[in-house]
Amino acid sequence: MRPSRGGRGVLAGDVALPARPSRLAVRALSAAVVVVVVLAFWSVDIQWGRLSDLPSEVVRYLGLMFAAPEWSKLPEALWQTWRSVAMAWLGTVLGILVATPLSLLAARGHGPAPVRGALRLLFAVIRAVPEIIIAIVILSVTGLTPLTGALALAVNGIGTLGKWGYEAIEGIGPGPVEAVRAAGGSGTQVLRWGVWPQVLPAFGSFWLYRFEINVRSSAVLGLIGVGGIGDMLTSYTQYREWSTVGVLLIVVVVVTVAIDAASGALRRRIMEGARARAVQP
């Protein structure tokens, strides 16, 4: 065994062994991550001494909220929760109506390259802006109404549904698409008969998952006064009526978990189909 010329490796007989890869880039990246983490902790004004009081404070507030909940507020809490769910549903439907055709155009092989690039950039920009910022912009036109929250959820949903949509389209099998084209089908017919039947189950799953996200986001949007359970939570929290806040949190958790469970079951049924049942002889 002898070193090769130029120090690029080691010769073992007539076989050149590769040189050991340099780990300089990995070490530099690790050092950069450490520096960023340290600077993040250094720049945030964290009162570390108060962390020791956190467990006792959490227990105290949990007692204030759930020791004696104000159940007389339950009907109003259910009504405001329904408004939040309706806001989420409307935002989801509007997002689907806009994002679905745009995702078809943004998919590779189904839309012009300039259009694809513009739509993908649009989806990325929308996803970079939180719903609450979008709602603040929209409320200057529509005011503090549930419609503002629904429109904000719809706009944000266009970014996520559009991205999920064109990625699903680009992952389908080429067989049906080629068959429609070989039969002389137009671009619209290719999308209708070659693409849409393949992506419909994935799209249905995406729509349900987006509805789940919108249900949770609608409560957050209520913090800026667009209505719903979040608006009610903000009001009673500001007045420190913790027994009412406890009832509101119970309603939010129960409704959200129920919607997530139902949506999850539907998504599994769409993607996996019905389970086969054993036939008794």
The domain segmentation of the chain, as residue ranges, is 1-44, 70-272
CATH topology for the 70-272 domain: MetI-like fold (1.10.3720)
Task: Please tell me which residue, 120 or 173, carries the higher pLDDT value.
Answer: 120
- C-alpha distances in angstroms, 251 versus 78, 90, 138, 231? 7, 21, 28, 14
Instruction: Give the Cα separation of 8 and 160 in Å (integer).
Output: 48
Give SS3 for 68: coil
The single-letter DSSP state of residue 22 is: P
pTM value is 0.76
Average model confidence (pLDDT) for the chain? 83
Q: What is the pLDDT of residues 138-163, one digit of tens each?
A: 888 888 788 888 999 999 999 999 99
Q: How far is CA 125 from the centre of its chain?
A: 14
pLDDT tens sequence across 159-185: 999 999 999 988 888 888 888 888 887
| Per-residue pLDDT reduced to its tens digit, 68-114 | 888 988 898 899 889 889 999 999 999 999 999 999 889 888 778 89
Return phi, psi of residue 9, to 5°: 180, -165
Specify whether the CB–CB gap between 90 and 142 falls below 8 A.
no
Q: What is the pLDDT of residue 43?
A: 76
Given a cut of 90, whether residue 125 has pLDDT beyond it is: yes
Instruction: Please compute the mean of the pLDDT values over residues 213-228 and round it to a whole number.
Output: 84
